[in-house]
Amino acid sequence: MNTTLLESVTTRANHLIDPGLAIWGWQITVYLFLGGMVAGILSLSALLELRHGKPTSPIFRTAPFWALGILSIGMVALFLDLEYPLHVWRFYSRFQTASPMSWGSWILVAVYPAALVFGLGSLDDGGRAWIRKGVPAKLEGIYDKLVKHALERRREILIGIFFIGLGHGVYPGLLLGTMAARLQWNSALLGPLFLMSGISTGAAFLLLTGLHEEERKRLVRWDVNAIGTELVLILLMLIGFAYGTESARFAAGNFLGGPYTPAFWSLVVILGLVVPLLMEAVEARRHLPFTLVTPALVLVGGLALRAILLVAGQESAFRLIP
């Protein structure tokens, strides 16, 4: 028996695994997409302020709160996917250093208070005063101390948010990569790929809101770098599959003539990466007016990347046997 196809033979009796892993559906795609976008929003907002001072565009005053709202929608989708939602507390009953899922669970816990403090420091005095009106009288003292901390420790908070965002962006790919039996996910490049995609979609979200000219130019430049890195990572991943073991070549076949080839190359590579990259490069070089089509295409590509990888990774190798 061919050992590279051992998984497809030994698990065929399980209807949840053969002919496909019928476990993760659209809910996980939504969570991966929104979670990656949030990672990009937080990391880029913090990096912009660390490198160039406090942003002046209005969106950056409320960006942390937008990020929390978007993440909460993703968390609802994730919660709907759980087989036993009431047992979610078990994720936090212990911490396993070797488990990407454990790291991801705790990073999610850290995002909420960190982004809240980040957001309070980003607001102007009027915004903080408006929020204070809704704080119960017994908690006003705590709120004032939180605001003071957010302002006095601003740089430390920005650095923390930057790395929390990076961790939140990379861990889903690392988690999928630990599942070696899933041929399409068995790549060390999946973590960096998800991170770069999250940074790119986060930049796209911010660009859709209408930024001041200088801040927009910086985000476009960073987005170009992220898209370029994504393309390189995708190329390296496909090369690694194509010239790897027999099981890796089966994974490459999904995107190189297999069932996911049209969707992957049209939605992800061409419309989601190459076209936005060329449009941003031409806009920057020719000083053309900024168009909202570019970030919209980036968002479509980011969603398609996660959807296709998630579905392809749940394919059984048995389907790919000629």
Q: Mind listing the pLDDT tens digit for each residue in 165-189?
A: 999 999 888 888 887 777 788 888 9
Residue 104, pLDDT score: 75
Residue 317, pLDDT score: 56
Token pair listed for 191: 């973590």
Q: What is the mean pLDDT of the chain?
A: 85
pLDDT band, residue 232 (cuts 50/70/90): very high
Which CB contacts under 8 angstroms, 24+ apart, belong to 230-236? 230/193, 230/196, 230/197, 230/200, 230/273, 231/269, 231/273, 231/274, 231/277, 233/189, 233/192, 233/193, 233/196, 234/193, 234/268, 234/269, 234/273, 236/189
Which residue did the predictor score with more confidence, 203 or 321?
A: 203
pLDDT digits (tens, 9 = 90+) for 37-65: 999 999 999 999 999 988 889 999 999 99
Contact between 166 and 39 under an 8 Å Cβ cutoff? The reply is: yes
pTM: 0.87
pLDDT band, residue 158 (cuts 50/70/90): very high
Supply the CATH classification number for the domain 13-320.
1.20.1630.10
Interhelix angle 125-133/140-152, rounded to 10 degrees, is: 160
Share of the chain above pLDDT 90, in %: 49
Q: How far apart are CA 244 and CA 221, in angstroms?
A: 34
Listed range (4-8, 203-207, 268-272) with the worst mean pLDDT:
4-8
Q: CB under 8 Å to 226, separation ≥6 — which residues?
A: 196, 197, 199, 200, 203
Residue 36, pLDDT score: 94
Query: In this model, does residue 120 exceed pLDDT 50?
Result: yes
Residue 100, pLDDT score: 73
pLDDT band, residue 306 (cuts 50/70/90): very high
Residue 14, pLDDT score: 57
Task: For residue 243, count CB atoms less than 10 angstroms from its CB and return exposed for 0-12, middle for 13-18, buried for 19 or more.
Answer: exposed
pLDDT digits (tens, 9 = 90+) for 62-103: 999 999 999 999 989 888 877 777 777 677 777 777 777 777
pLDDT band, residue 320 (cuts 50/70/90): very low
Q: Which of 231, 145, 153, 243 is nearest to 193 (CA)?
A: 231
Q: What is the DSSP string of 202-226?
A: HHHHHHHT---HHHHHHHHHHHHHH
Residue 182, pLDDT score: 78
pLDDT band, residue 322 (cuts 50/70/90): very low
Query: In this model, does residue 217 exceed pLDDT 50?
Result: yes
Highest-scoring range by mean pLDDT, 78-92, 143-157, 233-247: 143-157
pLDDT band, residue 1 (cuts 50/70/90): very low
pLDDT band, residue 10 (cuts 50/70/90): low
Q: How many helices (H) and strands (E) does the chain have?
A: 13, 0
